[in-house]
């Protein structure tokens, strides 16, 4: 099912379970002749506990939108609300996973996971057991004393997810975290991410330009049009959970991928 969010910004009514709200978000960079409109009137509601992927071609403003949601950069106009409160800076209630793992090479895996705890000046000792539990949940038990260079790319991204979850965020924001991985590892990480998400009970916003990845992971997929970024269409994903690799061969999965591909090029 597709919804044309462009024709009516209020198409999806804000429910009582709204977790994140984008209200007419616009973003420009530069000024004068060099002024560039990156995002144009984004209206979107993400419900509590929902997994939503933002899909679009490179340069359409996906990462910019996520950084605004995280409070890393401000919108030029409009606002983002989280639990009804305007977002203007990063908070402890959100975790962010970047395109690269951005682990500190001189810190052990355990020390990397505890970095947000130190940034917020909390007691690292109190969070040590939780960090070890996250490593166990992610299949990395026994690696707490290793350094990033000793881990594969997929393992490093698992560590970055653990770091994002250490503060028990209610929102997990992910910016193409598996884009640099090979196809097989990427599919494995997709399944692993869904397992983690189902256990952590967070609201997830996932940036990708991979159609199959978006369909496999999501409850809904929001397609952004080319620059300036705008909500072009919203796709509901009717596939049952828990998702398994076999769902990629489901006729509904194939049809959704085809419809999204056509919508991206229309």
Consecutive H or E run containing 221:
strand 220-224
Burial of 46 (0-12, 13-18, 19+ CB in 10 A): buried
Helices (H), 27-152: 62-69, 109-113, 115-119, 124-137
Residue 199: the pLDDT is 86
Instruction: Please answer whether residues 87 and 69 qualify as being in contact, where contact means their C-beta atoms are separated by less than 8 angstroms.
Output: yes
Residue 10: the pLDDT is 43
Q: Report the distance separating Cα 216 and Cα 250, nearest Å.
A: 11
Tokens of 80: 């983002």
Residue 92: the pLDDT is 87
- How many H-runs (helices) and E-runs (strands) does the chain carry? 8, 11
pLDDT averaged per 10 residues, the chain (length 266): 43 61 94 87 96 93 95 95 93 89 94 93 91 90 96 91 92 91 87 89 94 97 92 96 94 97 90
Burial of 226 (0-12, 13-18, 19+ CB in 10 A): middle
Complete domains list, the chain, with CATH: 49-58+89-93+169-265 (3.40.50.300)
Q: Report the distance separating Cα 152 and Cα 117, nearest Å.
A: 25
Residue 149: the pLDDT is 95
Residue 53: the pLDDT is 97
The CA-based angle 132-166-94, given to 5 degrees, is 165
Tokens of 8: 């009516």
Q: Which residue has the tokens 């997990």?
A: 172
Residue 70: the pLDDT is 95
């Amino acid at each position: 099912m597709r919804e044309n969010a462009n024709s009516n910004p209020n198409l999806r009514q804000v429910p009582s379970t709204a977790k994140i709200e984008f209200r007419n978000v616009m973003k420009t960079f530069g000024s004068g002749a060099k002024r560039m409109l990156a995002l144009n009137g984004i209206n979107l509601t993400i419900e509590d506990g929902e997994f939503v992927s933002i899909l679009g071609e490179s340069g359409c403003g996906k990462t910019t939108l996520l950084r605004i949601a995280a409070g890393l950069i401000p919108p030029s106009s409009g606002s983002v609300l989280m639990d009804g409160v305007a977002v203007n800076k990063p908070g402890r209630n959100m975790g962010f996973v970047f395109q690269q793992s951005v682990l500190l090479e001189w810190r052990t895996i355990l020390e990397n996971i505890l970095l947000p705890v130190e940034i917020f000046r909390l007691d690292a000792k109190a969070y040590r057991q939780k960090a070890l539990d996250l490593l166990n949940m992610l299949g990395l038990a026994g690696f707490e004393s290793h350094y990033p260079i000793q881990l594969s790319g997929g393992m490093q991204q698992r560590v970055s997810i653990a770091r994002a979850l250490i503060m028990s965020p209610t929102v997990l924001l992910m910016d193409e975290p598996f884009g640099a991985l090979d196809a097989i590892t990427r599919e494995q990480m997709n399944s692993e991410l869904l397992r983690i998400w189902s256990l952590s009970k967070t609201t997830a916003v996932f940036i990708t330009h991979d159609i199959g990845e978006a369909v496999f992971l999501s409850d809904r997929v929001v397609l952004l049009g080319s620059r300036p970024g705008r909500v072009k269409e919203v796709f509901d994903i009717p596939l049952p959970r828990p998702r398994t690799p076999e769902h990629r061969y489901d006729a509904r999965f194939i049809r959704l991928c085809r419809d999204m591909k056509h919508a991206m090029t229309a």
